[in-house]
């Protein structure tokens, strides 16, 4: 007669618990696709159902930057079941926004856009296609052209060999803007670094600075934004001296960020304007 195995000698609930732990471990520690899936960009380990969502934390731009340092400038994550390709270098951004921008010109379907923006009928969330093309050309030619701004005065889908159709793409412009391979002392505020520099912010050739995005879904409001920004900034600097309340200095500022539609200051900047020009 054979002796009973260790498992069969245990009470049933304990056997079930051990089996469940074993299953969960197998599911949780699915190996990274860095080495297992040929032709796919590297991926961090995924968690069942959540994918990589649980890893994003409060500051996804920072988490993605850290993951990219480990897995490379083009990596594949999963937000739940949705594959998400994350670009974290200027070269990767160029591939997506210039070389293959037809393929990546759609927008994700967002409930918010359908509910608030007339079934995503506005130009920024409209799916890539004829309707978007017409809206965009009205914007660019009729509303936002340099001439018009000045006058105010006062898919075709190609499938790539690597990715599943429907893969969402995120370009981490924040991480690219801090890439030490591209910028000298990236965390330092040195506006003079742009003097006599070829880098511009329009995303035409230089993808290391892309505040307006780039490619066919890039921001059409650049002339409008730059004209308004320059005017407002020039007036604020020219007409006022600025100090911090209570004699505080720049180093005293709390510069932590906060996540929202865009990343913004966690603690609002309070500054006192002292007029220095009398009319
Ligand atoms: C400093 C100011 C601005 C910044 C930093 C900015 C930035 C951006 C960015 C990052 C995008 C997404 C680009 C992409 O997906 O690749 C975008 C799209 C867009 N922006 Fe701006 N923008 C600014 C001002 C404006 C202004 C003033 C207007 C219009 C009056 C405007 C109209 C649009 C539109 C319509 C889109 C969607 C384009 C499309 O999906 O085809 N933006 N902007």
Give the pLDDT band of residue 260 (cuts 50, 70, 90).
confident
- Average pLDDT taken over every residue of the chain: 84
pLDDT, one tens digit per residue, over 170-182 is: 999 999 999 999 9
Give the Cα separation of 159 and 106 in Å (integer).
13
**CA–CA distance from 185 to each of 28, 104, 191 (Å)?**
39, 32, 12
Give the Cα separation of 143 and 152 in Å (integer).
10
For the chain, give every domain's residue range.
42-105, 106-163, 171-216, 220-278
Give every strand in the sheet of 168-171, ordered side by side: 74-79, 82-87, 168-171
Residues 6+ apart with CB under 8 A from 130: none
Residue nearest to atom 38 of ligand 1 (CA): 124
- Predicted complex ipTM: 0.95
pLDDT, one tens digit per residue, over 138-160 is: 888 888 877 777 777 664 344 48
Whether 256 shows a pLDDT value over 80: the answer reads: yes
pLDDT, one tens digit per residue, over 66-77 is: 999 999 999 999
Q: Give 58-127 as a DSSP string.
A: S-HHHHHHHHHHHH-SEEEEEETTEEEEEE-SHHHHHIIIIITTTTT------HHHHHHTTTTTSTTTSP
pLDDT, one tens digit per residue, over 87-105 is: 999 999 999 999 998 889 9
State which of 212, 215, 227, 229 you would mutate to test the pocket of ligand 1, scoring each by most atoms of that ligand within 8 A of its C-beta. 212
Tell me, using a 6 A CB cutoff, whether residue 211 lines ligand 1: yes
Tell me, using a 6 A CB cutoff, whether residue 221 lines ligand 1: yes
């Amino acid at each position: 007669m054979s002796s009973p195995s260790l498992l069969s000698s245990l009470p049933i609930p304990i056997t079930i618990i051990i089996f469940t732990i074993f299953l969960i471990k197998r599911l949780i520690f699915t190996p990274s696709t860095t080495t297992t899936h040929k032709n796919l960009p590297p991926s961090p380990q995924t968690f069942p159902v959540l994918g990589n969502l649980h890893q994003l934390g409060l500051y996804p731009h920072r988490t993605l930057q850290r993951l990219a340092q480990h897995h490379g400038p083009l990596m594949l994550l999963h937000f739940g079941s949705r594959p998400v390709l994350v670009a974290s270098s200027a070269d990767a951004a160029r591939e997506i926004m210039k070389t293959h921008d037809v393929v990546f010109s759609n927008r994700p379907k967002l409930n918010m856009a359908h509910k608030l923006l007339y079934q995503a009928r506005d130009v920024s969330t409209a799916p890539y296609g004829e309707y978007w093309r017409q809206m965009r050309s009205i914007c660019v030619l009729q509303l936002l052209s340099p001439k018009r701004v000045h006058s105010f005065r006062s898919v075709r889908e190609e499938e790539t060999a690597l990715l599943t159709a429907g893969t969402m793409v995120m370009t981490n412009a924040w991480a690219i803007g801090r890439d030490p391979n591209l910028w000298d002392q990236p965390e330092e505020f040195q506006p003079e670094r742009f003097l006599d520099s070829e880098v511009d912010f329009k995303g035409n050739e230089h993808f290391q600075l892309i505040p307006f995005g780039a490619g066919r879904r890039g921001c059409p409001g650049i002339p409008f934004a730059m004209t308004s920004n320059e005017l407002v900034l020039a007036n604020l600097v020219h007409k006022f001296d600025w100090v911090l309340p209570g004699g505080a200095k720049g180093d005293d500022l709390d510069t932590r960020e906060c996540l929202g539609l865009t990343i913004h200051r966690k603690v609002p900047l309070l500054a006192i304007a002292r007029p220095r020009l009398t009319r």
